Amino acid sequence: MINMTGRRIVVALGGNAILAKDASAEAQQRALQETARHLVNFVKEGDQLIITHGNGPQVGNLLLQQAAGSTETNPPMPLDTAVAMTQGSIGYWLQNALTTALAEQGLSSDVATLVTQVVVSDDDPAFTHPTKPIGPFYDLTAMQKINATHPEFEFVEDAGRGFRRVVPSPRPVDVKEAGVVKAMVNAGIIPIACGGGGVPVVSSHNQLIGREAVIDKDFASEKLAELVEADLLIILTAVDHVYVDFNQPTQRALTKVAIDELREYVTDGQFAAGSMLPKVEAAMAFVTHRPTGQAVITSLENLADYVQTGSGTVISSQALVTDYD
């Protein structure tokens, strides 16, 4: 068993990092094998690792598969159950990949996937305004065909890449199994938790009741990191840094930034609502609740450089100097 006495780190993996164009189990497992090799670097440093992940593409595909094959006697499962199902499948692949990657480095640690329930408010306005994209992209003709069969589905055009189904995305209030995650880390186990943002549940009369929604994995990861008293929250995305004036001649990469300055960039509309904004907001929320901690936004490919040199966008409660590249 590894003696993990270093920093307590929550690493949030994006669902799109697990699934690109090839939706086969084999392709997703290969992607996670590469991901695991990056994550092992933290274990080698003696850090306490907690892994979370998205599931937007996977849960959307699962819902389509269920809808296509459903019958009156074999009905499709509701969205909250589909989230739990993808927690299990992605977690299974990831814990196996991590076990292999640890062995390749001569390390040994237990890795376990935890079906995680994330409490949301029944009054959250997100339930009447779906915004969370799930599943694959469609062109206009394909989207209209699906909508004709499933008029209850809502679609939006997503960043010029086509149409995607959207579902409610309420904000997390609590993570039911946060204490279990903490106990696992204290026992030297690497937990995989809050998969797909967690199974969305509301609390009612001593019961937890699932809701048809997908919670943003960055906000769920922040809430978990806050509750387990993490030292560091790492949010992985497609770029090495957060940029201001993105794709403009004045574009700058933020390397070290205080939350007060980052908040000004949010107010100025620097970050896209469906892309970088939730990651920035989650990072700021974590540092606000854990003033001694830090949040990092970077890419999976840059993770090794971050471990070695601190490369990436590092958000702190206060930064002596804000750095740009």
- Ordered domains of the chain (ranges, CATH): 8-116+172-316 (3.40.1160.10)
pLDDT digits (tens, 9 = 90+) for 218-230: 999 999 999 999 9
Q: What band does 5 get if pLDDT is binned at 50, 70 and 90?
A: low
Q: What band does 321 get if pLDDT is binned at 50, 70 and 90?
A: very low
pLDDT digits (tens, 9 = 90+) for 122-131: 999 999 999 8
Euclidean distance between CA atoms 14 and 74, whole angstroms: 31
Residue partners of 68: CB distance under 8 A and separation at least 6: none
Task: Return the closest-CA partner of residue 228 out of 189, 170, 279, 255.
Answer: 189
Mean pLDDT of 135-147: 89
Q: State percent of the chain over pLDDT 70.
A: 95
pLDDT of residue 168: 94
pTM (predicted TM-score): 0.90
Mean pLDDT of 196-225: 96
Euclidean distance between CA atoms 148 and 291, whole angstroms: 50
Supply 89's token pair: 């499948």
pLDDT at position 283 over 90: yes
Q: State percent of the chain over pLDDT 90.
A: 74
Q: What band does 324 get if pLDDT is binned at 50, 70 and 90?
A: low
Q: Which element (helix H / strand E) includes 281?
A: helix 277-289
pLDDT of residue 49: 97
Q: Known catalytic residues? A: 15-16, 132, 217, 279
pLDDT at position 325 over 70: no
3-state DSSP helix/strand/coil percent for the chain, to nearest 5?
Answer: 40, 25, 35
Euclidean distance between CA atoms 319 and 313, whole angstroms: 12
Question: pLDDT averaged over the chain?
Answer: 91
pLDDT digits (tens, 9 = 90+) for 73-121: 889 899 999 999 999 999 999 999 999 999 999 998 999 999 999 999 9
